[in-house]
Amino acid sequence: MKHPFFKNYGPFKIKDLLDDLKLYHIENLSDDLVHDIRDLQSADKEHLTFFHSKKYHLQASKTKASHCITLQNLAHYLPIECKPICVDNVLLIISQITSKIYPDAVNDDFDNSVKKIEELNFNNKIKYGHNVLVGENVKIGKNCSIGHNTIIEKNVNIGSDCSIGSNVIIRNTIIENNVAILDGCIIGKKGFGFFPNKQKNLRYPHIGIVLIGENSEIGCGSTIDRGSMSNTTIGKNTYLDNQIHIAHNNKIGDNCIIAGQVGFAGSSTLGNNVMIGGQAGISGHLKIGNNVQIGGGSGVIKNIPDNSRVMGYPSKDLRQFLKDNK
C-alpha cells in the first residue's frame, strides 16, 4: 500500500542497499528487489523487515517479509521463506536503510511551504481565526473551525465537522470526522527515537503517521508523536484530557477515557473502553486489555489482562492495593 504522505524512493536491490552502507562482508546477497520497509507483522513478500529482540520471536516466526535484518543468534526464528541478513547493530542499520527509502521523513524542521489560509481555496467551508497557516498537501472537510495562530503543516487530512483550537501545530496526520483538537496541541512530529552515542546521538526517521478516529477529543497542551515504523493511532470516541503525551507507535482503542498528565512510552497497545486516572505512566511495549481501569498516579510496567482494575507503583490489582494501604 502506498504511503499516504512520504515518498518511497524504492524499489532497491538488497545488495545495493547494503553496499551503500559498506557492509561488504555480508555474503550471498542477491539482486532481489525490496519495495518497502515494514515491521514484522505488516511486512509482505516484497518488503524488508527487522528483528532485534527475542521478545518478538512469535511475530518473527510468522513474518511474510522476503528479507530480514537481524542478529546471528535470532535468525533461526525466521520462516524459511524469509532470508536473514545478520548484522551487529540491527536498529542502526535499519535506520540507515529507512533513510534511503524515505529520505523525506528524515527532516522534521518547520514547514516553509505554509501560506496564510485566506490565500488558499477552501471554498468558505471553514471558519478560522487570525494568523492561521496551512501547508502543502492539506485537506480540510466541511464545517470545520480553526483557532488563532494555528499551523496546519504539510501532509494533513482533516475530516468534516472538526474543531481545531488556537496555537495548535499538526503535520503527518489523518483526522476523521467530528474530532476536537483543543488549544496548544502538537500532533504528528517525530517521536523520541534515537541511538545513544557519546559523540552525537543518532535519531532514526519516523515514517509512520498519526491517525485519530471519529468523535474523539484531544485535550489542551497534549502531544501525539507519529509512528516510527507503524502508525500512532487514537480510536473512535476516545477522550484525552489536558497535557497528555502519546509517544510513537502507541495504539489507543475505542471509547477510552484518559485523564490529565498521563504519559505513554512507545509501542504499547491499549484496548477498548479503558479508563486511566491522572498522572499515570505507561511503560513501552505493553499490552493493556479491554475494559481495564488504571488508578491515578499508577506506574504500569507489565501487561494487564481484560477487565482488570489496577493501582499503585508498580501497578497491582486494586483490591490488593487497597489491602496493602489500609
* DSSP 8-class letter at 129: -
Q: CA 64 to CA 240: how far, in whole Å?
A: 35
Dihedrals phi, psi of 324, to nearest 5 degrees: -75, -20
Q: CA 177 to CA 169: how far, in whole Å?
A: 18
Q: Read off the pLDDT of each residue in 268-294 and give the average, rounded to a whole number.
A: 97
Q: CA 9 to CA 103: how far, in whole Å?
A: 8
Q: CA 225 to CA 246: how far, in whole Å?
A: 6
Q: CA 186 to CA 132: how far, in whole Å?
A: 15
Q: What is the pLDDT of residue 1?
A: 65
Q: CA 102 to CA 4: how far, in whole Å?
A: 12
Q: What is the pLDDT of residues 182-227, one digit of tens each?
A: 999 999 999 998 877 778 888 889 999 999 999 999 999 999 999 9
Domain annotation for the chain: domains and CATH numbers:
12-101 (3.40.1390.10), 115-324 (2.160.10.10)
What share of the chain has pLDDT > 90, as a percent? Answer: 77
Q: What is the pLDDT of residue 15?
A: 86
- pLDDT class for 92, splitting at 50, 70, 90? confident
pLDDT of 24 above 90: no
Largest CA distance in the chain: 67
248 is catalytic: yes
Q: What is the pLDDT of residue 130?
A: 97
DSSP string, 137-149: SEEE-TTEEE-TT
Q: Say what the pTM is.
A: 0.93
Residue 215, C-beta contacts closer than 8 angstroms, at least 6 positions apart = 177, 178, 179, 236, 237
Q: Which long-range contacts (CB under 8 A, 24 or more apart) does 267-272 make?
A: 271/306, 272/235
pLDDT of 319 above 70: yes
Cα distances from 229 to residues 17, 38, 141, 221, in angstroms, run 18, 6, 28, 25
- pLDDT class for 106, splitting at 50, 70, 90? confident
**CB-count exposure of residue 321 (10 Å: 0-12, 13-18, 19+):** middle
Could you say which of 52, 206, 245, 248 is catalytic?
A: 248
**What is the bridge-based pairing of β-strands 239-240 and 202-203?**
unpaired
Q: Helices marked H in the chain — which ranges?
A: 14-20, 57-62, 90-101, 318-324
Cα distances from 207 to residues 29, 36, 46, in angstroms, run 26, 11, 18
Task: Name the grid cell of 76.
Answer: 533461526
Task: Tell me which of 99-103, 107-111, 212-216, 234-238 is least confident.
Answer: 107-111
